[in-house]
Amino acid sequence: MFGLLVRTAGRQLSRAVSRAMPVASTRVTPVHRTFSSVVEESDELGSVPDNRFEGVGQPFDKKIAEVLAQPLEDCEVILAKDGTLKVSEEFYKDLLNKAFGVGGWALVPCGEIKDLDLSESGQEKQFVTLIREYSLYCHERFVSQAFGETSFYPGKQYYSEAAEKIKFSALMRCCKDLGLASELWNKRWTDSWKAKYAVQEWVENTTNSRKNQLWRRKDEDWTWPYKKTTFQKTY
C-alpha cells in the first residue's frame, strides 16, 4: 500500500513539473533585430574573460618584430577617389600570418553588432551606422581593442557584406598598435605619396552630370562613369 502511494505521488509530481517548465521557443529572430535590441536582451554576447589582458606589454621575439616592422611599399597603397590612402584587407592578414603563423592570431568580437541611430527625430533614415567592438589576440596574448564601423543601406546591400566591413574596419584599427601600415597615419608620408603618384582633377559623373574634384593615380585614366572636365568652382 505504501509503495502504491509513493508511485502515485511521484507521477503527480512529474506532471506538475512538466506543466511548470516553459516550452522552448522555435521563433526565428529577424535579421534586423541583430542590432541594439538583441544586444539588450543578451548580456552574455558581450562578456569577455577576466584574464583577457594577460601577457599585455610583453614584447614579441625579434623575428616577429622584424616582420611587423617592414616598411610599406608604394605599390601596396590604394588611392580612394576622395584622396584617402589605405591598404587591402589581405595586406593585414598576410602580414599577421607571416609574423604569427596561420591560426596564430585571432580577431575576437566583444559583443553583438549595434545600430547607432544618428538621424534627427522625425526624419526617415536612408542608412544606419553599424558598429561592433573587437579584440586582437596574437599567440594567445591581448594586443589591441577597437570598434569597427560602417554604413548599412537596408534593401541596397547585403547585411553580411556590412558585417564584413565592420570586421575589417576593426582589424585595421587594431593593427595600428602593432605598427602595420603606420605610414598611412603620417600626414607627411601621405602628402609625399600623393605628390609622387597621384593627381587631383575636376571630373563629371556622366550618370547625373555632377562635377567634383577627385583623385586618381597618375598611371591610370578616368573610367566610366567619370570623365575629366574643365569645370572650375566659383566662390
| Strands annotated E in the chain | 78-79, 85-86, 105-109, 114-116, 128-138, 141-152, 198-205, 210-217, 226-228
Pairing of strands 78-79, 85-86: antiparallel
Contact between 135 and 142 under an 8 Å Cβ cutoff? The reply is yes
Tell me what pLDDT residue 232 has. 60
Give the chain's end-to-end CA distance (angstroms, integer). 103
Tell me what pLDDT residue 51 has. 67
The reported pTM is: 0.71
3-state DSSP percent of the chain in helix, strand and coil, to 5:
40, 25, 40
Buried b (16+ CB within 10 A) or exposed e, 4-32: eeeeeeeeeeeeeeeeeeeeeeeeeeeee
Contact between 125 and 99 under an 8 Å Cβ cutoff? The reply is no
Tell me what pLDDT residue 155 has. 83
Contact between 221 and 203 under an 8 Å Cβ cutoff? The reply is no
Tell me what pLDDT residue 132 has. 96
Tell me what pLDDT residue 116 has. 82
DSSP 83: S
Tell me what pLDDT residue 121 has. 53
Tell me what pLDDT residue 126 has. 81
- How far apart CA 186 and CA 174 sit, in angstroms, is 17
Residue 128: count of CB within 10 angstroms of its CB: 19
pLDDT digits (tens, 9 = 90+) for 79-97: 999 999 999 999 999 999 9
**Which residue positions in the chain have pLDDT lower than 70?**
1-51, 117-124, 231-235
